[in-house]
Homo-oligomer: A and B are copies of this chain.
């Protein structure tokens, strides 16, 4: 073992931090992911920068808060020119490529203004969030919008799965009691086995692609983003995962009747969304969660396969491995479904990092409870590969000192996550224009403060109320805390890195250097 040569950046989608064996789920079986945690560091307080796919990922991929990169929701194009993980990796001699999902939307208008297209490599990279699209597949293919060229569909068809969109009709559908194809888009069908052999599921397929690509790359140093759509909906798993779990394995929803009495207006509007109404129904919840858990155990099995492959081909010794998710899933907690808001089930993410270097031996198998953020990954990668810190651009912190178990003075004081619900029914219910729909969560470990445009803030005390059942946003006794948290938010807002085109080092070199450049102003 020695230097890190490659980076395997594995992401699941919508995987709650607490749905792994190693993070404390009492019933789920994830032995291979748990083994990763034993060989690396499990970060127990890792947070995504936005509890929604696209925005969270743009933060992972740029190393910047949503406030800085601007792609505040799914479908909002990442503005052309934003520097990405791939750009940083290429500077350090690594090819950076994607297998799976990014949920990145290209800024086609910006590209057109600059006269660039996917035909050129830089144009392709700009359109793909900085990754070489070794296999781009966002994993959601409604019949009306499925590309006829979708590789996974071609793969399924070659295996004999018929139809125009076997992604839907096989990998994400079952057969109902009446013998009809039953779409996994509907929660009611989550208990059915998907009409695909476990070896041909999306999760299996993407793992195959990763193994093939790593093999093909040979001795070329790489950064591979292996990005699974699961356990994200459609919540439907192939046998045997579809009925591996039952009622007894489901942890109860974290919610109280009191929460429904006088909820914050934004939360109340989200509670009325269809997904929240359905997940509030315990019977429906029990239909879905076993499938969700099965999909996780399925991923775990493929983690086992992937790790065996890396060991066999010798890459385990020189590859940094990250296992994480873009956000969580309410699963009925707090009478909510899906994600987007800031309770722990939604905003906290699993994060395991396996650092093969001897310097990291001291921390293997440990749990680190420092506050970490998804934007910390790029600084960690750059640091481990010997690149410059770039604090003018990258807003996270390198986790290297934590991986090495070094003593640190002064870690971050709080994490920030953001929401923009302009696209949701909640905005219509609250009768808001599209530019009054932002919210910011600040969590300092104990206090979780959420500041919304137009509405009062929320406040939770995670020490006395770890289940976040008591909103102190109007508590007279907590005015001072709220004020202090709002001050922190304001300090954070003004400290965003917008001067991205000049490094601190260049500023130092240019400070007060007018005369050396022949510029004499104010000189008598």
A residues with a Cβ closer than 8 A to B are 66-72, 75-83, 87, 107, 109-110, 113-116, 120-123, 125-126, 140, 142-145, 183, 185-188, 233, 273-276, 278-279, 284, 337-338, 391-392, 420, 422-425, 427-428, 433-435, 438, 440, 453, 486, 489-490, 493-495, 498-502, 504, 507-508, 510-512, 517-524
Contacts and interface: CB of A to CB of B under 8 A. Distances in A.
Which of A498, A517, A519 neighbours the largest number of chain B CB atoms within 10 Å of its CB? A498
Given A493-B493, A507-B434, A522 B275 contact: yes
A188 B276 CA distance: 75
Contacts of A508: 434
Contacts of A423: 507, 510-512
Given A75-B502, A113-B122, A185-B520, 16 more contacts: A70-B498, A77-B502, A113-B126, A114-B114, A115-B120, A116-B122, A142-B517, A186-B520, A187-B524, A274-B523, A275-B523, A279-B522, A422-B511, A433-B504, A440-B494, A493-B494
Contact of A507 (B422, B490, B495): B422
A47 B436 CA distance: 26
B498 A453 contact: no
A522 B145 contact: no
A519 B140 contact: yes
B391 A142 contact: no
Contacts of A501: 70-71, 76-79, 107, 109-110
A81 B507 CA distance: 23
Most buried by B among A115, A142, A392, A502: A502
Contacts of A188: 524
Nearest to A124: B115
Contacts of A109: 501
Q: Which 3 A-B pairs have the closest CB atoms?
A: A275-B522, A142-B518, A115-B122
Contacts of A495: 435
Nearest to A436: B495
Nearest to A142: B518
Given A114-B126, A144-B517, A499-B72, A284 B507 contact: no
Contact of A522 (B68, B187, B511): B187
A9 to B, nearest CB: 20
A189 to B, nearest CB: 10
A275 B521 contact: yes
Contacts of A276: 522
Contacts of A391: 435
A45 to B, nearest CB: 25
Residue picked from A87, A499, A523, most chain B C-beta under 10 Å: A499
Contacts of A122: 113-116
Contacts of A518: 142-145
9 contacts: A71-B501, A72-B499, A79-B81, A83-B110, A115-B120, A187-B523, A275-B523, A391-B435, A423-B512
A447 B524 CA distance: 36
Contacts of A420: 499
A338 B524 CA distance: 13
A114 to B, nearest CB: 5
Contacts of A110: 81, 83, 501
Contacts of A273: 522
